[in-house]
Amino acid sequence: MKVTILGHGAWGSALAIHLCQSHSTTLWGRDPDALENIQRERENKLYLPGIPLPDNLILSTHLNEALLSAKLVIIATPIASLRSLLEAIHPLTQVPIIWACKGFEPKTGYLAHQIGLEILGVDYPCAVLSGPSFAQELAKGLPTAVTLAAKNIDLAQELMRELHHPRLRLYASEDIVGVEIAGAMKNIIAIAAGLSDGLQLGHNARAALITRGLAEISRLGVAMGGKSETFMGLSGLGDLVLTATGPLSRNYRVGKLLAEGQRLEAILKSLGHVAEGVGAALEVMRLANQYHIDLPISRMVEALLNEQITPQQALLSLLNREPKRES
């Protein structure tokens, strides 16, 4: 099967490296200079340094050319680019589209499937790929397991069978809302976990933050129509644990560096990658107000990112809450 991946960042490149073992794979990017460097070096030195690109991986900056004869399109860009890409490719192809974007669209606050619904329509074959997956590890061939969710479970299972591999195990779901909410909110909790570690509060505190953070994700996700079991799966608990404990996590590093006294603007500039939790925090609090749901950790992170409180005050805001039943 010919697969076209849009987005030559870390995740898009990692997926391309993996998929070209079993499929004819093209990796597209909009930056000709960057693609030329990657083509010449046969390595994405900016996002996946030290990992060579397979000889059979095709690189392209021409969208029409990249989509030609493709049977599946995977969009692996930040969610801010999803709308423009869907608008560009919709007239060119009618094949299934998988997006691997997490978070909320800036300005509209839409989740990825809401953008897809607006542009592609209700019956277009599309799905979301999400779960605990550091790009560097997949690119190195280390085992990874993720969730593939589509409104049509038959489509999810069909795509799962096509892409399933011993080193990239896929599990089908029909809970797009739950998968996307979990993928967006886990980044906020990861910032809180990084903050806790940066303040040297210990493993007990981090475990408590992750556990109570999962409760917040489930609370909002179920209110929005997600299934409670989704949040106990790979795209929920699995992704949260990885993002809130792994040093490769950008969002975790944001929290840790904030605790060390660095300013958010300087942190984001130094990362060189998008930290989705920064943009997601404000949108999650808007949804919390809309659904009348208490999300104390998310609220604390949002106030910290907006410099309304210091890291120490953020800690006190959680510790000083009234005791309550766990569930």
* Whether residues 149 and 222 fall in one domain: no
pLDDT for the residue 230? 98
Q: How confident is the model at residue 272 (pLDDT cuts 50, 70, 90)?
A: confident
Mean pLDDT of 266-284: 86
Mean pLDDT of 287-314: 94
Sheet holding 97-99, edge to edge: 58-60, 24-28, 2-6, 72-75, 97-99, 126-130, 144-149, 168-173
Q: How confident is the model at residue 91 (pLDDT cuts 50, 70, 90)?
A: very high
* Whether residues 170 and 64 fall in one domain: yes
Give the domain-ending residue among 174, 208, 226: 174
Tens of pLDDT, residues 171-216: 999 999 999 999 999 999 999 999 999 999 999 999 999 999 999 9
Domain assignment present for 179:
no
* Whether residues 152 and 56 fall in one domain: yes
pLDDT for the residue 245? 94
- In contact, 283 and 187? CB cutoff 8 Å: no
Q: What percent of the chain has pLDDT over 70?
A: 100
* Whether residues 276 and 154 fall in one domain: no
Alpha-carbon torsion, ordered 129, 133, 134, 136, to 10 deg: -80
pLDDT for the residue 271? 83
Higher pLDDT, residue 128 or 319: 128
* Whether residues 39 and 131 fall in one domain: yes
Give the domain-ending residue among 121, 145, 174: 174
* Whether residues 54 and 15 fall in one domain: yes
31 pLDDT exceeds 90?
yes
Looking at residue 72, which CATH number applies to its domain?
A: 3.40.50.720
pLDDT for the residue 99? 98
* Whether residues 287 and 152 fall in one domain: no
* Whether residues 269 and 311 fall in one domain: yes
Distance CA 197, CA 259 (A): 8
Looking at residue 299, which CATH number applies to its domain?
A: 1.10.1040.10
pLDDT for the residue 136? 96
275 pLDDT exceeds 90?
no
Give the domain-ending residue among 174, 207, 229: 174
* Whether residues 148 and 33 fall in one domain: yes
Residue 198: domain span: 184-319
pLDDT for the residue 326? 83
247 pLDDT exceeds 90?
no
CB neighbours of residue 97 within 10 Å: 22
Catalytic residues: 186
* Whether residues 66 and 93 fall in one domain: yes
Tens of pLDDT, residues 101-119: 999 999 899 999 999 999 9
Domain assignment present for 324:
no
150 pLDDT exceeds 80?
yes
Higher pLDDT, residue 277 or 160: 160
Q: How confident is the model at residue 323 (pLDDT cuts 50, 70, 90)?
A: confident
Cα angle value 214/218/223 (rounded, 5°) = 155
Domain tally for the chain? Answer: 2
Mean pLDDT of 230-236: 98
Average confidence score pLDDT of the chain: 95
Cα angle value 210/175/105 (rounded, 5°) = 70
Domain assignment present for 73:
yes
Strand extents, DSSP E, 34-174: 58-60, 72-75, 97-99, 126-130, 144-149, 168-173
- In contact, 192 and 297? CB cutoff 8 Å: yes
Domain assignment present for 93:
yes
* Whether residues 80 and 206 fall in one domain: no
Would you give the distance in Å from CA 271 to the centre of its chain?
16
CA–CA distances in Å: residue 261 to residues 47, 193, 195, 251, 282: 26, 16, 10, 16, 21
pTM of the shown model: 0.94
Which one-letter amino acid corresponds to residue 47? Y
pLDDT for the residue 280? 92
* Whether residues 146 and 278 fall in one domain: no
273 pLDDT exceeds 90?
no
